A = this chain, B = another copy of it.
Amino acid sequence: MSVLVVGTVAFDSIETPFGSAERILGGSASYFALGASFFTPVRIVGVIGEDFPQDYIDVFNQRQIDLEGLQRDKGDTFHWRGRYHEDINLRDTLELHLNVLAGFEPKLPEAYRDADYVFLGNIDPVMQLEVLRQLRSVKLVVCDTMDHWIHESQEELKKVLQRIEILVINDSEARLLSGYDNIVKAARAILKMGPKMILIKRGEYGVLQFSDSSVFATPAYPLEEVFDPTGAGDSFAGGFMGHLARSGDQSQGGLRRAIVYGSVVASFTVEDFGVKRLTDVSLAEIEERYQRFIDLTDFHS
């Protein structure tokens, strides 16, 4: 079972209290794909510019990540520059150069059009709808978004929400989208917009899952070093869908275990700059931390 992701493949320039890095590999599709590739083959739909180096292509090639849907356009690659505060949960965007992303029209290769699992990364809802239009069949669609699209493209976003199974969103975005401060009310309101399930990311505080039949809460794995939070949410989604695709288990328990796998993958992501930790961690280490996650949270056995 492969997972299809549409999203950004980018250069990130990042400053944190612990150091800085220039034009490293980033973007929602990159983090998602690397996170999911521990568990299942991944296909990327996205765009890069002429300046995108072979070294970064090789990062994907070293894993079961198919790049037939990653088109190279004239111009420069999308580039984000951000700075994290002393409180590592806060960040400012310093520069945003859309470059080739500005004219991007996603085109799914023929082989991608029968997808089992699809992740609509955080891009313009118009592009997310276009991807859905090109799909012939699909088992499960998961979608991410952000405050910018909630403000600027809410009508299109709501069309997307009517066509997906699971929305992944952070807590402040859930409040913004729903109009409710209380997170339980926010989740209930968003479920009425279409998704069967919502996963609310709370950073170092973990994840809340809501559906009509289940409420699940899990803490984040406590870390002594959080080096760079970039990509935590996308690699969470990658681990979540990757494990779902690997297990084929969409029971309530199966979905919960997938959430924990996503949390484990995200906990590795933030341990080093950019995608570095995702490229050197092993599946065995992920499985080991999953077991530790059970120890971390178990109180009734």
Binding site for B on A (CB under 8 A): 86-88, 181-185, 188, 202, 204-206, 208, 215-220, 222-226, 253, 256-257, 259-260, 294, 296-301
Residue among A188, A219, A224 with max Cβ neighbours from chain B (10 Å): A219
Complex contact A218–B181 (CB within 8 A):
no
Cβ contacts under 8 Å, A259 to chain B: 299
Complex contact B257–A300 (CB within 8 A):
yes
Closest 6 CB pairs of A and B: A217-B219, A256-B299, A205-B205, A184-B224, A184-B222, A294-B300
Cβ contacts under 8 Å, A225 to chain B: 182
Within the complex, the shortest CB–CB distance from A103 to chain B, in Å, comes to 41
Within the complex, the shortest CB–CB distance from A268 to chain B, in Å, comes to 16
Within the complex, the shortest CB–CB distance from A86 to chain B, in Å, comes to 7
Residue contacts A-B, CB under 8 angstroms, 28 given: A86-B181, A87-B181, A182-B223, A182-B224, A184-B222, A185-B224, A188-B224, A202-B205, A205-B206, A205-B219, A206-B219, A208-B219, A215-B222, A215-B296, A216-B296, A216-B299, A217-B219, A217-B220, A217-B222, A217-B296, A218-B219, A218-B299, A253-B301, A256-B298, A256-B299, A257-B299, A257-B300, A297-B297
Cβ contacts under 8 Å, A253 to chain B: 299-301
Q: Which residue of B lies closest to A255 (CB)?
A: B299
Complex contact A216–B300 (CB within 8 A):
no
Q: Which residue of B lies closest to A182 (CB)?
A: B224
Within the complex, the shortest CB–CB distance from A186 to chain B, in Å, comes to 10
Complex Cα–Cα for A299 and B260 (A): 8
Q: Which residue of B lies closest to A210 (CB)?
A: B222
Within the complex, the shortest CB–CB distance from A236 to chain B, in Å, comes to 15
Within the complex, the shortest CB–CB distance from A176 to chain B, in Å, comes to 14
Q: Which residue of B lies closest to A222 (CB)?
A: B184
Q: Which residue of B lies closest to A207 (CB)?
A: B219
Within the complex, the shortest CB–CB distance from A255 to chain B, in Å, comes to 9
Within the complex, the shortest CB–CB distance from A169 to chain B, in Å, comes to 16
Within the complex, the shortest CB–CB distance from A215 to chain B, in Å, comes to 6
Within the complex, the shortest CB–CB distance from A250 to chain B, in Å, comes to 14
Q: Which residue of B lies closest to A88 (CB)?
A: B181
Complex Cα–Cα for A217 and B294 (A): 10
Complex contact B222–A183 (CB within 8 A):
yes
Complex contact A184–B299 (CB within 8 A):
no
Within the complex, the shortest CB–CB distance from A155 to chain B, in Å, comes to 28
Within the complex, the shortest CB–CB distance from A286 to chain B, in Å, comes to 16
Q: Which residue of B lies closest to A301 (CB)?
A: B253
Complex contact A208–B222 (CB within 8 A):
yes
